[in-house]
Amino acid sequence: MPELPEVESTVQYLKERVTGLSIEGATVLWDRTIALTSPHAFCHQLAGSQIADVFRRGKLVGLRIVGKREQYLYTHLRMSGSLDVMAKALPIAPHDRVVIFLSNGKTIRFNDTRKFGRMYLTTSPDDVVAKLGIEPLSPEFTADALRAMLSSKKGAIKPLLLNQSFIAGLGNIYVDESLWRAKIHPLTPANRVPSPKQGALHEAIRAVLSEAVSLLGTDFGDGVVDGGMYTPAVYGQNGQPCGRCGTVIRRVVVGQRGTHLCPSCQRKPRS
Q: Would you name the residues annotated as active-site residues?
A: 2-3, 59, 257
Q: Is 205 exposed, middle or buried (0-12, 13-18, 19+ CB in 10 A)?
A: buried
> With contact defined as beta carbons under 8 Å apart, do 17 and 102 qualify?
no
Distance CA 146, CA 24 (A): 44
The rounded radius of gyration (Å) of the Cα atoms in the chain is: 20
Distance CA 61, CA 201 (A): 26
Q: Is 69 exposed, middle or buried (0-12, 13-18, 19+ CB in 10 A)?
A: exposed
Q: Give phi and psi for 166, each to the nearest 5.
A: -95, -60
| Residues 6 or more apart whose Cβ sits within 8 Å of residue 2 | 10, 59, 77, 81, 171, 217, 224, 225
> With contact defined as beta carbons under 8 Å apart, do 255 and 162 qualify?
yes
| Residues 6 or more apart whose Cβ sits within 8 Å of residue 158 | 175, 176, 179, 186, 187, 254, 255, 257, 259
Q: How far is CA 271 from the centre of its chain?
A: 33
The alpha carbon dihedral of 87, 116, 80, 134 has a sign of: positive
